[in-house]
Copies of this chain bind each other. A is one copy, B any other.
Amino acid sequence: MSLDPPQLNGASTPKQRLDASKLKFIQSTVLHPVPEPGSPELWAQNVHTDHMLTCRWTAEKGWDVPEIKPFADFSISPLASCIHYATQCFEGMKAYRGFDNRVRLFRPDRNAKRLVMSAKRVSLPEFDDAELVELIKALVRTDAKRWLAEPGSFRYVRPALIGTGRQLGVQIPREAVLFIVMVCWPDFSTETPPGVVPRSDLRLLTSRNDTIRAWPGGFGYAKVGANYGPSFASHCEAQESGYDQILWLFGEDGQVTEAGASNFFAIVKDERTSKLQLLTAPLNDKLILDGVTRRSVLELVESRLADELEVKETKFTISDLEKAWKDGRLVEAFVSGTAFFIKDVSTIRVGDRNLDLVQKRDGTGKFGPRIKGWLKDIMFGVEEHKWGVAV
């Protein structure tokens, strides 16, 4: 149904590549008020900084000049691809003000590479991931002084790519916009929203048999909008039942995949050897997101805890967990992700039973909090590490 088959697609004109060196800058004349640390506003997750970065792409010309400009609404056609056909993908990352007063990103190369991959999955244009990293740094530099002033604080950074072509046909978008915004974000790993009784535990509800987040051959591995909206109903159902997140199971055997929009880890004592194993779902069947925090957890465990904890990226089922719990071998569980960071799991609801982890483990979150501490040290510059990239 495409009007321009690829072979006629203006292959003779060279297309502009995404080029951070061409960045234009338009200073905002309006400076928005910055919320106080820990203020209730943070929980709205929509207080943005003064500027945003945008870059337009067209099938004819490629990437336009990127611009940092005052934060403003988009003008989007009612016929735009992104609001009908979910031609959209995004990244979630944070910018950290270190205790040494330097501003850092955490492994931004990983996020940039993943956005290229996600874009491809929903037929959005390709770009050089290293250029995106430069653009992210440029936006963070622009607004860090006012918006990220406090050592030990962070903001959330959201790069996204949307198909803006005006075309109701079922076809690849011929126009797109890459944009980056920075917003205030609460600390989910240690705080609770205003009006909610403070508690530090995380309760997971296993998904129902009739609701599946992702499937082999689908797009569960990509950070595309299509994975999110359809999962909100389950997420809400969990909260209405007094749980925080869904633990997504897959298949007849109930393979454990992800928790909410985070990766899931369980620490289990091996039945025969009694050695501790860190279990997490594998990437090879493309069901789960290749989380940057997930990958970092695994790498830290391999480099710093190899004697205590064996990494097992492997299929495991909710029955495996239940059995380990019954035997007293499920010693710890936690989730990881940029939005949530790392948070210990206190309970997993399976059918009509709670697998309560506080009562079963020896010591409270022996490994999760340690790994979290290491990551924090890297993010806030306490430990100089190649993962902490100064902007």
Least distance between A369 CB and chain B CB atoms (Å)? 22
Question: Does A170 touch B at the CB level, under 8 Å?
Answer: yes
- The residue of chain B having its C-beta at the shortest distance from the C-beta of A40 within the complex is B3
- B83 and A83 form a contact (CB under 8 A): yes
- A225 and B228 form a contact (CB under 8 A): no
Q: Interface of A with B (CB < 8 Å)?
A: 1-3, 5-6, 8, 43-46, 48, 52, 71, 73-79, 81-88, 90, 120-123, 156, 158, 160, 162-163, 166-172, 179, 181, 183, 188, 193-196, 209-212, 215-219, 224-233, 235-236, 239-240, 260-261, 339
- A217 and B224 form a contact (CB under 8 A): no
Residues in B whose Cβ lies below 8 Å from that of A156: 168
- A228 and B85 form a contact (CB under 8 A): yes
| Contact status of A123 and B229, CB under 8 A, knowing A156-B168, A181-B78 | yes
Least distance between A116 CB and chain B CB atoms (Å)? 14
A-B contact pairs, 20 of them (CB 8 A): A1-B235, A1-B239, A3-B43, A8-B195, A46-B77, A52-B78, A75-B75, A75-B76, A83-B160, A84-B158, A84-B160, A84-B228, A86-B88, A87-B228, A122-B230, A172-B232, A209-B217, A211-B217, A218-B218, A218-B230
Other-chain residue from B5, B123, B209, B215 in contact with A232 (beta carbon distance below 8 A) = B123
- B218 and A229 form a contact (CB under 8 A): no
Least distance between A127 CB and chain B CB atoms (Å)? 17
- B239 and A122 form a contact (CB under 8 A): no
A120 to B230, CA, bound (A): 9
Least distance between A130 CB and chain B CB atoms (Å)? 24
- B86 and A46 form a contact (CB under 8 A): no
Other-chain residue from B45, B179, B195 in contact with A169 (beta carbon distance below 8 A) = B45
- B83 and A225 form a contact (CB under 8 A): yes
- B236 and A230 form a contact (CB under 8 A): no
| Contact status of A87 and B172, CB under 8 A, knowing A5-B240, A52-B78, A239-B5 | no
Residues in B whose Cβ lies below 8 Å from that of A1: 188, 193, 235, 239
- A79 and B121 form a contact (CB under 8 A): no
Pairs A-B, 3 closest by C-beta atoms:
A212-B217, A86-B225, A226-B226
| Contact status of A84 and B90, CB under 8 A, knowing A45-B168, A232-B122 | yes
Known: A73-B78, A226-B229. 12 other contacts (CB 8 A): A2-B236, A46-B166, A46-B168, A84-B225, A85-B232, A86-B86, A87-B228, A87-B232, A121-B230, A215-B215, A218-B218, A225-B226
